Amino acid sequence: MERYYQPEIETASREQITQWQNERLVKQVKHVWDNVPYYRKKMEAAGVTPEDIKSVEDLHKLPFLSKADLREAYPYGLLATPLKNCVRIQSTSGTTGKRVVAFYTQEDIDLWEECCARAIVAAGGTNEDVCQVCYGYGLFTGGPGLNGGSHKVGCMTLPMSSGNTDRQIQFMMDLDATILCCTPSYAAYIGESLAEKGYKPEDNKLKAGIFGAEPWTEEMRQEIEKSLGIKAYDIYGLTETSGPGVSFECEEQTGMHINEDHFYAEIIDPETGEVLPDGTKGELVFTSLDKKGFPLLRYRTKDICILSRKKCSCGRTHVKMTKPLGRSDDMMIIRGVNVFPSQIETVLLKEGYPPNYQIVVDRVKNTDTFDIYVECTPERFSDKVSEMQASEKELAMAMRAMLGINPKIHLVAPKTIERSEGKAVRVIDKRKLH
């Protein structure tokens, strides 16, 4: 079965994609120059004018935008069209500081929803599906984005928003939901809650899940696929570029196709800003090629990943990005060693622990402390201190093998780490508070 929402775009030739990108970029740079004094000043400072940008080959001449720019220009400084043309704002979830707002014209919303529709169809969605959206609705882009995509595909949409897990489960079972959209941490929680209510994975009608908005590992994917009896697909995006649907996974499940007709992706060295070749790990930078309300050029996402142009078995021709390894500002430097939460998640799930954990880093007497609180499964939980200590030691050794440094492991009783209904908070870095 062909799973494309817009086949002529999703499987277009490289020449065609490049042609779209070049035409749209030239128009977009002029649009921004004419309408956004903030960015025009940046261009002038860099000594570039719209005439210098003739194709994506010239993109490297343009200055970057960062979250700091968005905060400085808050709220209207990067708006590129009169407000009367805008129909909505959305805002970041504020994971890494002050929120930023993004503006949308009706065309921007259509474009965004089409990207989400591509993701739903790639996961096997059709107008026969019942699509349960339990990303948060409101300012957060997850709910509105997938809701719009689900409408475009013609699915019967359950606009649940996040939270109230009992009701989620009741609607899922009563209405025979077939597609689930939420954060991976909430999907894991729903899986756990279903099991507690005595449901087996085959008791629900779900076939696929579209999970994103936060980092998750391959091990987490397998765990969710098992507990819900589904195929779990990744979806990526950020408010600054519209929301979820910038890229999405196909049935190959080996990275996410970037919607290159709308977003031009570059990978740069986060230290020097130099553009790196495909296949190299670095910071992802996006240029919106055709958004009108809030079109960011060369926006630094802080997300670290690798781009690949290897041919994909699904037939899509758009470039693929690996799962982000985490944000560059998520990376912890503990006792001089780089540590990503995803590495810790990988070890935990491999060692048979549930994906419920919290990492606490602090600095005591000039030395970093590194504690990981990990929930036990009921089978593993023991009253015997010696048994628990042995398990803690074993897990600390597995962590050391992966990370190169020794954390202090604290095994805690089942159900004592707070579950997440949206983006999970995995790291508490108290060093920043000092």
For ligand ADP, the binding residues (CB under 6 A) are 92-96, 212-215, 234-239, 301, 303, 323-324, 327
**CA–CA distance, 346 with 216 (Å, rounded to integer):** 9
- Inter-residue contact 359 to 344 (CB < 8 Å): yes
Closer CB to ligand ADP, residue 191 or residue 326?
A: 326
183-214 exposure pattern, b = at least 16 Cβ within 10 A, e = fewer: bbbbbbbbbbbbeeeebeeeebbbbbbbbbbb
Nearest-10 Cα torsion for 176, 182, 184, 186: -80
Report the greatest alpha carbon distance in the chain: 73
User: Directed axis angle between helix 218-228 and helix 184-196, to 10°?
Assistant: 30
Look at residue 113 and give the partner it binds from ligand ADP, Zn ion, none, a contact being a CB closer than 5 to 8 Å depending on partner kind.
none
Binding region for Zn ion (CB under 5 A): 250, 252, 312, 314, 316
Question: Residue 384 corresponds to which tokens in the numbers above?
Answer: 């015997």
> Which of 23, 87, 108, 106 minimizes the C-alpha distance to 296?
108
Beta carbon of residue 305, minimum distance to Zn ion (angstroms, whole number): 16
Cα–Cα distances in angstroms (integers) from residue 300 to residues 227, 265, 297, 351, in the given order: 36, 10, 9, 35
Closer CB to ligand ADP, residue 178 or residue 239?
A: 239
H/E stretch holding 186? helix 184-196
Closer CB to ligand ADP, residue 191 or residue 212?
A: 212
Residue 75 preceded by cis peptide, ω within 30? yes
Closer CB to Zn ion, residue 292 or residue 320?
A: 320
> Which of 146, 147, 163, 141 minimizes the C-alpha distance to 92?
141
Helix (H, G, I), strand (E, B) or coil at 56: helix
> Which of 347, 116, 119, 118 minimizes the C-alpha distance to 232?
119
Beta carbon of residue 314, minimum distance to Zn ion (angstroms, whole number): 3
CA geometry: angle 357, 424, 163, nearest 5 deg: 120
Closer CB to Zn ion, residue 306 or residue 388?
A: 306
Closer CB to Zn ion, residue 13 or residue 367?
A: 13
Closer CB to ligand ADP, residue 43 or residue 235?
A: 235
Beta carbon of residue 127, minimum distance to Zn ion (angstroms, whole number): 22
Look at residue 151 and give the partner it binds from Zn ion, ligand ADP, none, a contact being a CB closer than 5 to 8 Å depending on partner kind.
none
Look at residue 323 and give the partner it binds from ligand ADP, Zn ion, none, a contact being a CB closer than 5 to 8 Å depending on partner kind.
ligand ADP
> Which of 376, 428, 372 minimizes the C-alpha distance to 400?
372
> Which of 89, 42, 86, 76 minimizes the C-alpha distance to 62?
42
Beta carbon of residue 341, minimum distance to ligand ADP (angstroms, whole number): 11
Beta carbon of residue 321, minimum distance to Zn ion (angstroms, whole number): 12
Beta carbon of residue 123, minimum distance to Zn ion (angstroms, whole number): 12
Look at residue 316 and give the partner it binds from Zn ion, ligand ADP, none, a contact being a CB closer than 5 to 8 Å depending on partner kind.
Zn ion
Beta carbon of residue 237, minimum distance to ligand ADP (angstroms, whole number): 6
Closer CB to ligand ADP, residue 94 or residue 163?
A: 94
Closer CB to ligand ADP, residue 31 or residue 423?
A: 423
Look at residue 234 and give the partner it binds from Zn ion, ligand ADP, none, a contact being a CB closer than 5 to 8 Å depending on partner kind.
ligand ADP
Beta carbon of residue 153, minimum distance to Zn ion (angstroms, whole number): 18
Look at residue 236 and give the partner it binds from ligand ADP, Zn ion, none, a contact being a CB closer than 5 to 8 Å depending on partner kind.
ligand ADP
Look at residue 363 and give the partner it binds from Zn ion, ligand ADP, none, a contact being a CB closer than 5 to 8 Å depending on partner kind.
none
- Inter-residue contact 277 to 308 (CB < 8 Å): no
Look at residue 312 and give the partner it binds from Zn ion, ligand ADP, none, a contact being a CB closer than 5 to 8 Å depending on partner kind.
Zn ion
Beta carbon of residue 310, minimum distance to Zn ion (angstroms, whole number): 10
Give the bridge partners for 244, in sequence order.
Answer: 237
